[in-house]
Amino acid sequence: MERVYNFSAGPSALPVEVLETAQKEMLCYGDTGMSVMEMSHRSAAFADILAQTKADYKELMQVPDNYEILFLQGGGSTQFSMIPLNLMTDHHRADYIQTGNWAKKAYQEAVKVGDAKVIASSEDKTYTYIPKFDASLMRNDIDYLYICVNNTIYGTRFRPDNLPTVPANVPLVADMSSNILSEVYDVSKFGLIFAGAQKNMGPAGVVAVIIRKDLLGRAAVDIPAMLNYQIHADKDSCYNTPPCYSIYICGLVYKWLKKLGGVPAMEAINKEKAAKLYDFLDNSKLFKGTVVPEARSLMNVPFVTGDADLDAQFVKESKAAGLENLKGHRTVGGMRASIYNAMPMAGVDALIDFMKRFEMAH
């Protein structure tokens, strides 16, 4: 059986090189005589894996020293609760920009904790654009402003040059689950960045959190220990058994990325891949991208033919051609190609070739 081009939005394709290394090291990691899956999280071997993985992530993301990096469990969705529980503690108030389902879910969890408010939204046009942000929209005395940087379902993104500008005393909190490590963002502009691993960084089961150190320790002591950033920071992500194997695979992905030239090199490749696909969509007589050009994601590219039956036929035939998981999210229909870091240029070329043939036939 040959490997397919997997356009899944998540969990998603991993670099073949990473899978091969994991395969080689599956039974015996180094000189330990055991698999990383079988190792104590308190062992010297795992301590090295965790320390190296953290150091490589710090280097790749250019994380300043006044930030802590945590590898936690519970996926992106647990962050929706941890963020308000840990940060909405001074004024008990936070503002949210709603650019899709994931931002909405984050807001819905925040409402359970305190006074959360949606101050800008693109829901009126099915989240096909990024709403204009003006600092005057923010309320006074908020504990943070929350954004979802890349909107996996709708294929929009806040570009690095289009992030909301916030006053120094308002931390910008960001969900980067679906575009982490895909292009350069300046970490110092954020109070907290989190990313579930299973799209651009590794397998499901781990979420990486970058948090400015002055934001630790703000939670009430009676919140559950597992939801307290300070406790995880004090124990260097080993308060309880961490998702050891997922962390190890993230480490292999970071090594792969470093060898490639890091995030700037990846960004150049991603921009070329995305431009190819968007150019094709812009010039196609059959297919149409659904997002306004200035908000287009480099990672998730939704498109339609305008005919639901033809869309379904496209998904079916593309699958037969070895192009997997092109069906759009159930809430929007149509198609979506997720072209994360691990999708090679050849995969994008194969998709465009197939689209050309489909267009000729229809």
Contacting positions for ligand PMP (CB under 6 A): 10, 75-77, 102, 148, 152, 175, 177-178, 196
Whether 256 is catalytic: no
| 102 included as an active-site residue | yes
Handedness of CA 28, 32, 33, 38 (dihedral sign): negative
Are β-strands 300-304 and 335-338 bridged in parallel, bridged antiparallel, or unpaired?
Answer: antiparallel
Nearer to ligand PMP (CB atom), residue 176 or residue 277: 176
Q: Which of 162, 185, 237, 195 is nearest to 63 (CA)?
A: 185
Strand partners, 120: 97
DSSP 156-210: EE--GGGPPP--TTS-EEEE-TTTTTTS---GGG-SEEEEETTTTTS-TT-EEEE
Rounded to a whole number of angstroms, the minimum distance from the CB of residue 164 to ligand PMP is: 17
Q: Which residue, 196 or 203, is less far from ligand PMP as judged by CB? A: 196
Written as six digits, the tokens of 162 are 């289009």
What is d(CA 84, CA 173) in angstroms, rounded to the nearest whole number?
A: 10
Q: What is the DSSP string of 45-102?
A: HHHHHHHHHHHHHHHHHT--TTEEEEEESSHHHHHHHHHHHHHTTSSSEEEEEE-SHH
Between residues 75 and 322, which has the closer beta carbon with respect to ligand PMP? Answer: 75
Check the annotation: does 78 bind a ligand. no
Question: One of 54, 199, 273, 327 is an active-site residue; which one?
Answer: 199
53 known member of a binding site? no
CB closer to ligand PMP, 196 vs 251: 196
Q: Select 92 or 105, whichever has its Cβ closest to ligand PMP.
A: 105
Which of 302, 270, 348, 279 minimizes the C-alpha distance to 155? 302
- Determine if residue 76 is labeled as part of a ligand binding site: yes
Task: Read off the amino acid at residue 360.
Answer: M
Single out the residue of 135, 143, 178, 122 nearest to residue 294, CA to CA: 122
Q: Are 357 and 350 in contact (CB under 8 A)?
A: no
CB of 148 to ligand PMP, least distance (A): 5
241 among the known binding-site residues?
Answer: yes
> Least distance (Å) from ligand PMP to the CB of residue 13?
15
Nearest residue to ligand PMP, using CB? Answer: 75
Catalytic residue among 56, 95, 143, 175: 175
Closest CA to 60 of 176, 154, 191: 176
128 is known to lie in a ligand binding site: no
| Least distance in angstroms from the C-beta of 21 to ligand PMP | 24
Examine residue 84 and say whether the peptide bond preceding it is cis (omega within 30 degrees of 0).
Answer: no
CB of 163 to ligand PMP, least distance (A): 16
Element (H, E) at 248: helix 244-260
Is 325 annotated to bind a ligand? Reply is no
Marked catalytic residue, from 54, 102, 273, 311: 102
Q: Strands 150-151 and 145-148, how do they pair?
A: unpaired
Q: Which amino acid is at 96?
A: Y
77 is in an annotated binding site: yes
182 a known binding residue?
no
Of residues 148 and 244, the one with the C-beta less far from ligand PMP: 148
For the bound state, the minimum distance from the C-beta of residue 178 to ligand PMP, rounded and expressed in Å, comes to 5
- Which residues sit in the known binding site for L-glutamate? 42
- Which residues sit in the known binding site for pyridoxal 5'-phosphate? 76-77, 102, 152, 175, 198, 240-241
- Which residues sit in the known binding site? 42, 76-77, 102, 152, 175, 198, 240-241
Catalytic residue list = 102, 175, 199
